[in-house]
């Protein structure tokens, strides 16, 4: 019994010696406990903030940046916006450049000879605006004396391109020139269209000298329309609010100009254009069918230069037509 009591006293003394040593630990050990996430009573406020930052918790500095505007990677990848989502300084100029680029692409898409003609119309109109009406008449009008003896050979070309000062009539004439010229060039090729235009300039120059017309660009437009209308004369087209045959369209255009000008003299350029256009159409399409020679065909070198792919396209269409023919069994020689 004595020995049992003595051993119990020894155990109690050992436990009492262990308790003070645990309470005398260093402050760093307590901080380690706080960093582990178990808040001790002796940890300071700064220690707790550091623990939150280490563990990724929300702090005051992070709360401040929450209300600010940021941008995603997808919004910055376009290169037109800043980090705040606003447009860059050069973004508007890039949009203007893209619009100009689209206009140039549409201009280059026009058929080559029609594009040259439209460009010459624009140049002569600009010269007329800069020089004034009197100086433009003296420089651009058709004058046979100054053309032949003064070697001012540009006058027949400028007389065929000048449509007067900018106006609603000028805009409509330029549109007709583009529409009918593109249709002719697309239908017969650039080389043949050049032959047509050179023939019209020559004939209309003679008519203009005889009648006293200084400019004949409206006559060229009427000649284009006459040739197109004679190709499919009975096709129905819409003029104003009426459906009329295609061959009557040049006369309808002439009637509208006469009514607008309230003078029969407005019909003179259209009559000249109908006559010169019919001269070309007769000698190009009617006379060869009557056994005559087609002397208005474009030269071979001109066709190779301006229409290099026309023969290849024709050959391919013929081959496709031959392949599409149905093959029959045929008939035996001497058979019924």
pLDDT score of 27 more than 80: no
pLDDT of 71 reads 47
Q: Over 60: is that where the pLDDT of 289 sits?
A: yes
Task: Using the Cα atoms of residue 165, residue 166, residue 170 and residue 176 in order, give the sign of their dihedral.
Answer: positive
**CA–CA separation, 199 and 278 (whole Å):** 12
Domain boundaries, the chain: 166-316
Band (105; pLDDT cuts 50, 70, 90): confident
Distance from C-alpha of 265 to C-alpha of 6, rounded to nearest angstrom: 147
Burial 295-311 (b: 16+ CB within 10 A, else e): ebebeeebbeebbeebe
Q: What is the pLDDT of residues 234-257, one digit of tens each?
A: 888 877 777 888 899 999 889 988
Within a 10 A sphere around the Cβ of 181, how many other Cβ atoms? Answer: 23
Taken in order 304, 308, 313, 315, the sign of the CA dihedral is: positive
Query: Of 49-63, 82-96, 163-177, 241-255, where does mean pLDDT reach its minimum?
Result: 49-63
Of residues 58 and 138, more confidence is placed in 138
Question: Residue 182 in contact with residue 111, Cβ under 8 Å?
Answer: yes
Least confident of 87-91, 109-113, 298-302: 87-91
- pLDDT at residue 23 in the model: 42
CA angle 263, 214, 166 (to 5 degrees): 70
Longest dimension (CA), the chain: 158
pTM above 0.75, yes or no: no
> Quick one: DSSP state of residue 266?
G
Q: At CB < 8 A and 24+ separation, what contacts does 170-175 make?
A: 170/125, 173/217, 173/218, 173/221, 174/118, 174/121
């Amino acid at each position: 019994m004595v020995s049992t009591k003595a051993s119990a006293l020894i155990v109690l003394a050992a436990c009492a010696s262990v308790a003070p040593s645990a309470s005398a630990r260093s402050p760093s050990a307590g901080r380690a406990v706080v960093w582990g996430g178990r808040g001790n009573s002796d940890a300071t406020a700064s220690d707790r903030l550091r623990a939150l930052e280490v563990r990724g918790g929300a702090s005051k500095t992070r709360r401040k940046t929450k209300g600010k505007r940021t941008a995603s990677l997808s919004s910055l990848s376009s290169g037109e916006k800043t980090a705040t989502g606003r447009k860059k300084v050069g973004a508007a100029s890039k949009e203007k450049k893209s619009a100009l680029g689209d206009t140039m692409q549409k201009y280059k898409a026009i058929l080559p000879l029609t594009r040259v003609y439209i460009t010459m119309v624009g140049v002569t109109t600009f010269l007329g605006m800069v020089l004034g009406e009197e100086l433009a008449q003296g420089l651009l009008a058709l004058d046979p004396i100054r053309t032949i003896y003064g070697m001012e050979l540009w006058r027949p070309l400028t007389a065929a391109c000048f449509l007067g000062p900018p106006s609603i009539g000028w805009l409509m004439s330029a549109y007709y020139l583009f529409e009918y010229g593109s249709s002719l060039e697309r239908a017969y090729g650039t080389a043949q269209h050049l032959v047509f235009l050179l023939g019209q300039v020559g004939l209309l120059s003679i008519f203009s000298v005889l009648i006293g017309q200084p400019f004949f660009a409206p006559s060229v437009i009427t000649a284009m329309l006459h040739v197109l209308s004679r190709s499919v004369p009975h096709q129905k087209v819409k003029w104003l609010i009426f459906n009329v045959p295609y061959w009557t369209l040049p006369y309808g255009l002439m009637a509208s100009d006469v009514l607008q000008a309230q003078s029969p003299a407005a019909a003179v350029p259209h009559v000249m254009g109908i006559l010169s256009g019919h001269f070309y159409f007769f000698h190009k399409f009617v006379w060869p069918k009557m056994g005559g020679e087609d002397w208005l065909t474009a030269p071979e070198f001109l066709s190779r230069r301006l229409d290099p792919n026309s023969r290849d396209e024709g050959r391919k269409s013929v081959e496709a037509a031959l392949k599409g023919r149905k093959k029959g069994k045929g008939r035996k020689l001497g058979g019924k």
